[in-house]
Structure 1
Amino acid sequence: MAYEQKRLAELAALVQGELVGDPEVLIGGVADFDSAGKGEITFVADLKRGARLDECKASAIIVPNSVTEISVPAIRVRNPYLAVARIHALFVAEPFVATGIDARAVVGQDCHIPAEVAISPLVYLGNRVRLGQRVALHPGVVVYDDAVIGDDVVLYANVTIGRCCRIGNRVIIHSGTVIGSDGFGYATDGSGRHVKRPQVGVVQIDDDVEIGANTCIDRATFGKTWIKRGTKIDNLVQLGHNVMIGEDAMVVAQVGMAGSTTTGNNVVLGGQVGLAGHIHLGDRVMVAAKSGVHNSLEPGAIVAGIPAIPHKTWLRASAAYAKLPEMVREMRELRRQIAELSRAITPGEEDSPESNG
């Protein structure tokens, strides 16, 4: 796809980088190091590829500040990943096109829908739904009664927003995700039968949150399940009722959080992490992939394993685990040697004083 070309000087100003070389070089897109060509900008995130800079065929390159010698026009920055993300977003950004409400959409009673919306075929809006400006609803989106959706929201195909749920501004929700399904709450009677507890709370998604495909966020039993500003949630994540995730968290694929678990800000949960219910993770906690967390964690904790323990301890334990078969063999050999020594220093019955009369 062709994008509007930008001068290299403009891109350097955008990312507050140091321009090296011709400021008038025209850039029309972003590509990876190996495939980038004329008219494109690429990047090197670390010095491992520093020796290959002379192989670069792109018109310009983004490099770390530590790269001092380079033969092609470049932008030096502290964080190349961040810089290339901002530049790439500039190229791919598309203006919102207000196509209105498709005739094949279903709109309930007393809805508030501004003029600047794009509502696709087969969208269903319940009664009293409120949409903000520049909302895009893709085919198959379902928004139940009394839900509120803020400005500049994109809901991709087959997203479901439950009744009374609230979606903030600039939220992106990818295909197949369900916001506001019933929480998994049951009481068990004396005969072992499970009685459903009504789930009468809501889900609140704050501004600038992005949620991946096929994720489920349950409504609260009472009150709200709450995803705070700037948090990013991957595909196939399950968040139970009354979960609260702080600001700017990163939740990677297949994470499961049991009901009433909460986190602080800037928490990172690796893929397939499981969190028990009714615990709290402090600010900046990091949990390694596939870990199981059963207790609350202090701010800044870095943990791994099942059950999760301090990450450095887990690394040492993992190294020891690989040596267990060898350690077992050594232990058996030591036990055999101890038994032989014990027999050697313990007199037998024939050598005892009683046997000599």
Structure 2
Amino acid sequence: MAGKKIRLAELVVLVQGELVGDPELLISGVADFDSAGEGEITFVADLKRGARLDECKGSAIIVPLAVTEISGSAIRVKNPYLAVARIHALFVEEPFVATGVDARAVVGDDCHIPAEVAISPLVFIGNRVHLGQRVTLHPGVVVYDDAVIGDDVVLYANVTIGRGCRIGNRVIIHSGAVIGSDGFGYATDGNGHHLKRPQVGVVQIDDDVEIGANTCIDRATFGRTWVKRGTKIDNLVQLGHNVVIGEDALLVAQVGMAGSTTTGNNVVIGGQVGLGGHIHLGDRVMIAAKSGVHNNLEPGSIVAGIPAIPHKNWLRASAAYAKLPDMVREMRELKKKVAELSRAMTPGRDDSPGNDA
């Protein structure tokens, strides 16, 4: 939609908000609060910044419902972050262009490739691969034998899809991600030598999942490693074999999840969290960054720390930890005072030098 202008009234309908000001105002783009200019819409997400509304140079602004004093054009909504995300997506949306299969791509035998695809140079597609409609494969993508990719999928540069893996509709996978590498599984003999266990399962990625750059999702030993609908995974995440991630989960960068761990829906896992294998996280579990989780967590649990404990307990423990140097000093002073009191209360005792018993 480059260069297109949209009426403010249309944007109000898109985000189901309340209109303030001129419904015929034309908006040509989205910008942040400090840089928004003529023709652009911006937003404030909280009441603290609402006091600066008069400083806004944009043509319109998205504000929380609680903001009532507005001099210019605006859209009042319950969730400004969600509203601006929808509007911004509308402006940056580009129609799919079917460029076909580039002559420098390699396509194997017995593949199903529709006419409406965009396959770039240096893409490799193995045998018996099935592509859906409007699939975009950027340069360097590798899709191994028997993989299935759904409609409206975008695979950015150097993504690898392993043998037999399944990718749903409207999936986005960013550069360098590897879907379907071998799981980390070995059996150790009596001499300490490690024998590789065959990894013969697949990875299944359901509809509307997004996977960040350089993330690795291992294929299952048997069966499937499974990422369910709507889940969003950040960069540099590692999911082991037979992991199952529920719907609409959020996994932040550098999460590491050992094999056969499973989660419910709407789980949020902070950056650099490590999870042991064969555990289950219930629905709506939240784990703070850098935590280590080794046990099952009940639905709705909020935990932090290594090992992870209830978040409120962790906050109290962290506050106490920060005070440890003072506590040690106070303890030494108390011990010294107790010793002095003990000597004073013991008749005939003289602890001065040279009077050892």
Q: Is the TM-score greater than 0.5?
A: yes
What's the CA shift for 1:105? 0.3
State whether residues 36 and 57 of structure 1, in contact with CA within 8 Å, keep that contact through their aligned partners in structure 2.
yes
Deviation of 1:20 after TM superposition, in Å, equals 0.5
Match of 2:226 in 1: 226
2 CA distance for matches of 1:302 and 1:329?
34
* 1:57-84 residue CA offsets vs partner (Å, 9 max, x unmatched): 1111000000101111000000000000
Partner of 2:8: 8
Q: CA deviation at 1:332?
A: 1.1
Q: What is residue 270 of structure 1 aligned with on the other side? A: 270
Deviation per CA, 1:10-31, whole angstroms, max 9, x where unpaired?
0000000000000000001000
Work out whether residues 275 and 294 of structure 1, in 8 Å CA contact, stay in contact via their aligned partners in 2.
yes
Which residue number in structure 1 is paired with residue 170 of structure 2? 170
Structure 1 residue matching 2:52: 3-state secondary structure: helix
Q: 2:28 corresponds to which residue?
A: 28
What is the SS of the residue equivalent to 1:103? coil
Residue in structure 2 matched with residue 75 of structure 1 by the alignment: 75
TM-score normalised over the length of structure 1? 0.97
Q: Does 1:185 align with 2:217?
A: no
Q: Residue 316 of structure 1 aligns with which residue? A: 316
Tell me the residue number matched to 1:235: 235
Q: Which amino acid aligns with 2:15?
A: V
Tell me, what secondary structure is at the counterpart of 1:330?
helix
Q: Are the equivalent residues in 2 in contact too, given 1:233–1:252 (CA < 8 A)? A: yes
Is 1:92 aligned to 2:95, yes or no?
no
For these two proteins, the number of residue pairs brought into alignment is 350
**Aligned position for 1:108:** 108
Q: Deviations over 1:27-61 (max 9, x none)?
A: 01000000000010000000111111001111110
In 1, the alpha carbon distance for the partners of 2:311 and 2:49 equals 29
Tell me the CA shift for residue 333 of structure 1: 1.2
1:288 corresponds to: 288
Residue identity matched to 1:87 = I
AA of the residue aligned to 2:96: F
Q: Could you give the per-residue CA deviations for residues 162-182 of structure 1, whole angstroms, max 9, x where no partner exists? A: 000000000000000000000
The range that moved more, 20-29 or 341-350, is: 341-350
How far, CA to CA, are the matches of 1:58 and 1:337 in structure 2?
67
- 1:53 corresponds to: 53
Look up the match of 2:198.
198
The answer on 1:130 being equivalent to 2:137 is: no
List alignment gaps of at least 5 residues for structure 2.
Answer: 351-357
- Sequence identity (%): 87
Q: CA deviation at 1:343?
A: 2.2
Q: Do structure 1's residue 66 and structure 2's residue 66 form an aligned pair? A: yes
Residue type of the alignment partner of 1:239:
L
Instruction: Report the Cα offset of residue 337 of structure 1.
Output: 1.5
User: For the Cα contact (< 8 Å) 2:2–2:92, is it kept in 1?
Assistant: no
Q: Stretches of 4+ moved more than 6 A in 1?
A: none
What is the CA distance between 1:349 and its match in structure 2? Answer: 6.7
Question: In the TM superposition, what are the counterparts of 1:328-343 in structure 2 within 5 Å?
Answer: 328-343=328-343
Distance, in Å, in 1 between the alignment partners of 2:338 and 2:200 is 67
